[in-house]
Amino acid sequence: MFSKILIANRGEIAVRIIRACKEMGIATVAVYSEADLDSLHAALAEERYCIGPAAAEDSYLNPRRILSAALISGAQAIHPGYGFLSENADFARECRRNGIVFIGPEPELMERLGDKTEMKRLVEGTSLRPIPGTGVLRDMTDALARGEELGYPLMLKARSGGGGRGIRLLQNAEDLCQAWPLAVAECASAFGDGALYLEKYIWPARHIEVQVLADEQGNAVCLGERDCSVQRRHQTLIEESPSPGVSRKQREALMAGVREAVQKIGYTGVGTMEFLLDKAGNFWFMEMNVRLQVEHPVTEMLTMLDLVKWQIRTAAGIPLRFRQEQIVMEGSAMECRINALAPGRLGMLHVPGGHFVRFDTYLVQGVEVSPYYDPLVGKLIVYARSREEAVRKLKAALCELVIEGIPTNIEEQLRIISGEPFMRGSYDLTLMEGR
């Protein structure tokens, strides 16, 4: 096991990883920007290093500065969290060259899985069905020709990255001509890769993702599915597990297919396979995320397994201590993402309590919520023995959560979970249309 880990991230996920390391007896190293001088993650770690100005490209996205901090501190491994450099194969390769373990897949595999068109080829021969689409398009002329072959409506997507960047809905060839240069520029800026591809538009649908955990010895387990269908502009607001739209029979077949694909690929660590579930009950494979997900606490609450600890253990070569049949998934877990609607300084903070109520955050009284980074300030997670009780518990927790001095989306989250579609569990990706 590692004795010291550097966390190459900030905010609530850095706090989450540091706490897991402390429980495992692992010393931690924090890196922080000048804007995060007084941040909670920097205060909690045993060592901390300033890596640059507030702008992410000069700090949290600067591999050289992060590696320098790791080498100076003597860290044996780097945990990237999610976002920033978590899916950067070049960074993972530099870690390896410097004798530091990158807590994630090998860079060569990360490159292959990060290419969404290549990922679809990798699952060929398994029971997973990729969404019909193209490979990487050469240019707009190629895109127009392939678009006519597939038939509209279509989705224009980025080969690399995520977070909804570069995604455009195309109803016709005119839409494609307008969207192409904008999507190329957006993806080149966000990911350093302007490559795009086309995919059939499956609508309406649920967005379902399956959590996997695998070790170097070839053992793999699926930890159920999460429903991430409450989205605005491809950004998830609420997640729950299990999905109210997936039957036990569907779940078993889906998890068997995912395990088969993960073992075929030779994946190690935590990862997530994402699907669209159409109205006919078909699961269409989209992509695989090769990192810890924002919504991982939902799965942790449902299975009572600590995914961060197991991510660290598998990166250290430790085999899983359990098999698929030993995974218990009973009850219901839900998560609301609490976002700041504007930067500001936190006044009063009151965190709800109770049995199986969890709030992952970096907020402390007086902290400045910076305009430089993602607006996520916390995640409110609950677990109960039934979905109905979980909804009631989540409502009560949202009503009790107080964040003063910073405008947030707490009231909107209450409206969503109090609405009839969510209460019934009958919602899909159309829920937030027009909102």
Hey, which residues are catalytic here? 291
Omega of the bond leading into 352 within 30 degrees of 0 (cis): no
Give the CA-trace dihedral at 338, 341, 344, 347, to 10 degrees. Answer: -50
Q: How many Cα atoms within 13 Å fall on the side-chain side of residue 328?
A: 5
> How far is residue 250's CA from residue 281's CA, in Å, rounded to a whole number?
8
Two structure tokens written together for 280? 């006919």
Contact 364, 346 (CB under 8 A): yes
DSSP tag of 319 = P
> How far is residue 20's CA from residue 79's CA, in Å, rounded to a whole number?
12
Q: What angle do CA 246, 251, 253 make, to 5 degrees?
A: 130
Give the CA-trace dihedral at 272, 386, 321, 210, to 10 degrees. Answer: -10
Residue/partner pairs of 167-170 with CB below 8 Å, 24 or more apart:
167/234, 169/201, 170/198, 170/201
Omega of the bond leading into 181 within 30 degrees of 0 (cis): no
Which backbone phi and psi does 262 adopt, to 5 degrees? -65, -45
- Residue 223: which H helix or E strand, with range? strand 220-232
